[in-house]
Amino acid sequence: MAYSIISGFAPSTTEPIDSRTVKANATARKGMNSYDIYEGLVVYQVDTNQLWVLIDTANYNNDNGWQLVGSGAGGGGSWISGSASNTYVSSSATTVTTVVGGITTQTNDSTSVTFGVAVTGSTFTGSFVGNGSGLTGVVAAFPAAQQTTLIGTDKVYINDGTTNEYATVSQFNSASWAGVSGDISINATTGAATINANSVALGTDTTGNYVGDVTAGAGLTKSSTASEGQTVDLAVERVHTSQ
């Protein structure tokens, strides 16, 4: 039953007039007796500097019954409340605090952010920042379409054992051709193959018929010597006969 107070009163105490409105932590906030709560009860949680309102008395003892409406994140800002989460955006636009089911995460413009909580569930909609080393059970979904024509600037993503990086198709080609050695050379830009000079040994690297040299027989004289690409010179000797 409510009582009407005609004039104000001035309590001299450092404790709250209503002990329900200030709780040390989430356990104390959700641990109140069912006969001590009502829909719309506003509670300040000391350990996180957060202000909570009870929106469902049937779930006062769990996260589903409470909605975060304020935080001591500092700097001024606004809370955006939704059906699944509450988000605080600071006035400097450098800090975003999100609360989902009582789990608080915070991001800012720093290059390194450490989260002290775990987000679990069958599905998650949003984005993560970092190298993903702490994620488990993640299956990569590859595009259904296949790239049929590759150009040198196309990128292939790789991991060097420490960080995620990429290499271009041209780099893969150059690395493959760099390992070629022996009787041919490959142009690293065009991929064209060239037979190195003096790399083909007749009879060893070739098949089929070829003439290695010509020997002058009886009545013939050869003035040329065996050489690559030679022209054979033969002369018929003059034969003298006696009468």
CA distance 224 to 217: 14
pLDDT single digits (tens) 118-174: 555 566 666 767 777 777 777 777 778 887 888 888 888 888 888 888 888 888 877
CA distance 50 to 52: 6
pLDDT at site 120: 56
How many CB atoms within 10 Å of residue 105?
15
Q: How confident is the prediction along the chain (243 residues), in pLDDT tens digits per residue?
A: 667 777 777 878 888 888 899 999 999 999 999 999 999 999 999 998 888 999 999 999 998 899 888 766 554 555 444 444 554 444 444 455 555 544 445 555 443 344 444 555 566 666 767 777 777 777 777 778 887 888 888 888 888 888 888 888 888 877 777 777 788 888 777 778 898 888 888 778 887 767 777 887 777 887 777 776 677 777 787 766 665
What number of residues does the chain have?
A: 243
Give the three-class secondary structure for 65: helix
Q: What is the DSSP string of 159-188?
A: E-SSSEEEEEHHHHHHHHHHT--SSEEE-T
Instruction: Considering the chain, tell me which residue range(s) the CATH 2.40.10 domain(s) occupy.
Output: 19-108
CA distance 151 to 228: 42
- If you ran DSSP here, which 8-state letter would residue 26 be given? H
> Which two tokens mark 212?
């290695």
pLDDT at site 226: 72
- Residue 28 has, within 13 A of its CA and on its CB side, a CA count of 13
pLDDT at site 116: 42
- pTM here is 0.35
| Nearest of 84, 121, 115, 122 to residue 100 by alpha carbon | 84
pLDDT single digits (tens) 158-180: 888 888 888 888 888 777 777 77
Q: What CATH topology corresponds to 19-108?
A: Thrombin, subunit H (2.40.10)
**How does 3-24 read in b/e, with b if 16+ C-beta sit within 10 Å?**
eeeeeeeeeeeeeeeeebeebe
Burial of 222 (0-12, 13-18, 19+ CB in 10 A): middle
Q: Quick check: 178 and 187 in contact, CB under 8 A?
A: no
Q: Sheet containing 22-23: which strands, arranged edge to edge? A: 22-23, 42-45, 50-54, 66-71
Which residue is listed with tokens 């009502």? 38
How many CB atoms within 10 Å of residue 46?
12
Contacts of 94 (CB under 8 A, 6+ apart): 108, 109
Distance of CA 158 to the CA centre of its chain: 9
- If you ran DSSP here, which 8-state letter would residue 51 be given? E
- If you ran DSSP here, which 8-state letter would residue 110 be given? S
- Residue 18 has, within 13 A of its CA and on its CB side, a CA count of 9
CA distance 21 to 45: 9
